[in-house]
Amino acid sequence: MFDKDESKQVNIISLGGSLIVPDEIDTGFLEKFIKFIKDRVLAGERFVLITGGGKVCRRYQKAANDLGITDIESNDWIGIHVTRLNAQFLRIILGELAHNEIIINPNEVSGVTKPVVVAAGWKPGWSTDFDAVELAKLFKAKRLVNLSNIDYVYDKDPKQFPDAKKIEQISWTEFRKIIPKKWEPGLNAPFDPIAAKEAEAIPLEVAIMNGRDIENLKNYFDGENFVGTLIR
């Protein structure tokens, strides 16, 4: 794995597929995100980046359903391969900063000498949120940043309930009360419920924020006020 200098913080970032490919590949966002990573690496930090599938994943899964593919495992594999495509793309555009292969199995990581590792979905039944928490355990990370296209977690779905209230800080116990009890492929929730249970057990600090605002992301990493939801 990384060099043995424990003074270098390992940061886990779960990068939502909705940021990489909202409809088309967002090269403007990716340029800013790569610069952010490069700047932090120059400052001595290390990163594990795991990519999601986002809207593209859900589109493929819906198409499969429409064509009669309804079993959960098959739909899960579709999503997993979308995350792997996104991960390979991110690894390539990171260039020399990144480990030379994407990580599929979070339990099998070796020979890492580069400051950035890119990971993707592993197997059916595991979301990329869960993979991210497993990687946090492996690399002894203290925090995980979940970047998506939402500013905050809300106490209920703001698209359905106009009176939904944003959450700035919340405990894992309270957070788990407002998300679904189980995970299934294509679940559109701020954090996988199984991953939430694992994160609480570590315990792991998770920040959920809108990844499009790179300055806001910097604020979090620099210990300043940021827009988003902090779970711990």
Residue 107 lies in a domain: yes
Asked if the structure places residue 213 within a domain, the reply is: yes
Sign of the torsion angle spanned by Cα atoms 173, 176, 182, 183: negative
Q: Is the pLDDT of residue 67 over 80?
A: yes
Write down the pTM of the prediction: 0.91
Angstrom distance (rounded) from CA 115 to CA 138 = 15
Span 126-147, average pLDDT: 91
pLDDT of residue 190: 76
Residues found in the chain: 232
Six-digit token string for 220: 């979090």
CATH number at residue 23: 3.40.1160.10
H or E element: which one contains 207? strand 205-210
Domain that holds residue 85: 10-231
Q: How far is the CA of 209 from the CAs of 18, 118, 150, 228, 232, in angstroms?
A: 13, 20, 6, 4, 15
pLDDT of residue 1: 55
Inter-CA distances, 24 with 62, 115, 166, Å: 18, 28, 29
Of all residues in the chain, what percent carry a pLDDT higher than 70?
94
The whole-number pLDDT of residue 108 equals 86
- pLDDT attached to residue 218: 97
Tokens of 102: 């994407």
Number of domains in the chain: 1
**φ and ψ at residue 94, rounded to 5 degrees:** -75, -15
pLDDT at 160: 87
Domain assignment present for residue 131? The answer is yes
Q: With respect to residue 3, please indicate whether it lies within any of the assigned structural domains.
A: no
In a domain, 137, yes or no: yes
The answer as to whether 4 is a domain residue is no
The residue-averaged pLDDT of 38-54 equals: 95
Whether 79 shows a pLDDT value over 50: the answer reads yes
Q: What is the pLDDT of residues 172-229, one digit of tens each?
A: 999 988 887 776 665 667 788 888 999 999 999 999 999 999 999 999 999 999 999 9
pLDDT of 84-131, one tens digit each? 999 999 999 999 999 999 999 988 888 899 999 999 999 988 888 889
Average pLDDT, integer, range 130-147: 93
Question: Does position 10 have pLDDT exceeding 60, yes or no?
Answer: yes
Q: What is the pLDDT of residue 72?
A: 87
Residue 74: which pLDDT band, with cuts at 50, 70 and 90?
A: very high
Give the mean pLDDT of the chain: 91
